[in-house]
């Protein structure tokens, strides 16, 4: 379920208008006949499964910052393993049939007592979000509206950037760093989480994320986390995607009266 407006397709062909929407993943289901061919149709088993989404750019498009080789591993092996692992688990788990991915992560999180499917589900979500948080030759400054909000909530863009980099470098173990719109506090914040935890789980709205698991940078940067994070901030962040996500999040979080310019 993706919208593709040909009229508004930007000049960059590797960005699709569909990428500006966070599509709900409706699981494709198929009916599988069980039993022998010569007996009448028994009750068929419905399966839900999720597909491996492709990044909105070719795997070499993020060179020289993230190599094709590393993306082939990260997307082709790690992300794919999470998807296939999840589908394996869902095969045997009828009560979880029919959820969209957004719903599935919340259900399997089970309010902090996660079900076995959670690890795979959340990492599928996180990686889908991550590929779309980056773009080739990412602009290093957000557009006006988002920039205003960042300046309001962090003081300055530099301050935000510092906080983000600091969170990434002080994360212990595997995890993610997020720019998130907080639902209750009604403001942007930088949040770091362990393993696969995602601010979506407690009702906040992720705007950008950065994978700080070692597999996300090790092949290209070895142990130099600082270089990886700074490269991400300077060259890879998709502020276009962030703006679109912000627009959607503002439908749920009232950030106050808009600044209506007086003519």
Partner 1 sequence: MAFRSIICRKTLASVSGFQKEARNIGLGFRHARELQTFTLPDLAYDYGALEPFVSAEIMKLHHQKHHQTYITNYNKSLEQLEEAMAKGDSSTVVKLQSAIKFNGGGHINHSIFWKNLAPANEGGGEPPKGALGWAIDEDFGSLEFLVKKMNAEGAALQGSGWVWLGLDKESKKLVVKTTPNQDPLVTQGPSLVPLLGIDVWEHAYYLQYKNVRPDYLNSIWNVMNWKYADQVFVHEKESC
The count of residues in the chain is: 263
Among 213, 228, 232, 239, binds partner 1 (CB under 8 A): 213
Neighbours of 185 (CB within 10 A): 11
C-beta of 120: minimal distance to partner 1 in Å?
Answer: 10
If you search the block for the tokens 């950008």, which residue do you land on? 208
Q: Binding of partner 1 at residue 77 (CB under 8 A)?
A: yes
Binding to partner 1, residues 109-138 (CB under 8 A):
119
Q: Six-digit token pair at 18? A: 């569909």
- Judged by CB under 8 A, does residue 73 bind partner 1? yes
Binds partner 1 (CB under 8 A): choice among 16, 18, 52, 78: 78
Verify binding: residue 183, partner 1, rule CB under 8 A. no
Residue of the chain from 95, 173, 258, 261 that contacts partner 1 (CB under 8 A): 173
**218 contributes a contact to partner 1 by CB under 8 A:** yes
Q: What is the Cα–Cα distance from 78 to 127, expressed in whole angstroms?
A: 9
Q: Is 52 in the site for partner 1 (CB under 8 A)?
A: no
Nearer to partner 1, 75 or 205 (CB): 75
By CB under 8 A, how many residues form the interface with partner 1? 19
Nearer to partner 1, 94 or 224 (CB): 224
Determine, following the binding rule CB under 8 A, whether residue 175 of this chain makes contact with partner 1.
Answer: yes
Question: What's the Cα-to-Cα distance from 182 to each of 104, 108, 186, 218, rounded to whole Å?
Answer: 21, 22, 5, 31
Among 151, 166, 214, 250, binds partner 1 (CB under 8 A): 214
Other CB atoms within a 10 A radius of the CB of residue 127 amount to 24
Quote helix, strand, coil % in the chain, to nearest 5: 45, 15, 45
The answer to whether residue 174 forms part of the interface with partner 1 (CB under 8 A) is: yes
| 3-class secondary-structure state, position 210 | strand
According to CB under 8 A, which one of 97, 222, 226, 247 is a site residue for partner 1? 222
User: Rounded CA gap, 177 and 165, in Å?
Assistant: 9
Distances (CA, A) of 88 to 82, 215, 255: 10, 23, 41
DSSP annotation of 26 reads P
Nearest distance in Å: CB 176, partner 1: 11
DSSP 114-151: --TTHHHHHHHHHHHHHHHTB-TT--SS--HHHHHHHH
Residue 84 binding partner 1, by CB under 8 A: no
Q: How far is the CB of 20 from partner 1 (least distance, A)?
A: 31
Please report, as ranges, the residues that interact with partner 1 according to CB under 8 A: 73, 77-78, 81, 119, 172-175, 194-196, 213-215, 218-219, 222-223
């Amino acid at each position: 379920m993706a919208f593709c407006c040909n009229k508004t397709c930007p000049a960059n062909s590797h960005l699709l208008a569909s990428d500006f929407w966070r599509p709900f993943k409706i699981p494709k289901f198929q009916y599988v006949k069980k039993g022998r061919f010569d007996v009448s149709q028994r009750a068929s088993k419905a399966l839900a499964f999720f597909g491996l989404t492709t990044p909105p750019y070719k795997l070499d498009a993020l060179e020289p910052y993230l190599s094709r080789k590393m993306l082939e591993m990260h997307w082709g092996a790690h992300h794919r393993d999470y998807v296939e692992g999840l589908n394996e688990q869902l095969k045997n788990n009828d009560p979880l049939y029919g959820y969209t991915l957004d719903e599935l992560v919340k259900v399997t999180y089970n309010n902090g007592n996660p079900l076995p499917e959670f690890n795979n589900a959340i990492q599928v979500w996180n990686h889908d979000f991550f590929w779309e948080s980056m773009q080739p030759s990412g602009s290093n400054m957000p557009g006006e509206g988002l920039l205003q909000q960042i300046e309001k909530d962090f003081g300055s863009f530099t301050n935000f950037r510092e906080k983000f980099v600091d969170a990434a470098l002080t994360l212990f173990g595997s995890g993610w760093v997020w720019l998130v719109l907080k639902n209750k506090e009604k403001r942007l914040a930088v949040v770091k989480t362990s393993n696969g935890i995602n601010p979506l789980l407690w009702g906040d709205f992720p705007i950008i994320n950065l994978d700080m698991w070692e597999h996300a940078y090790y092949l290209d940067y070895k142990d130099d986390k600082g270089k990886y994070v700074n490269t991400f901030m300077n060259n890879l962040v998709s502020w276009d995607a962030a703006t679109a996500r912000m627009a959607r999040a503002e439908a749920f979080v009232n950030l106050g009266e808009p600044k209506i310019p007086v003519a």
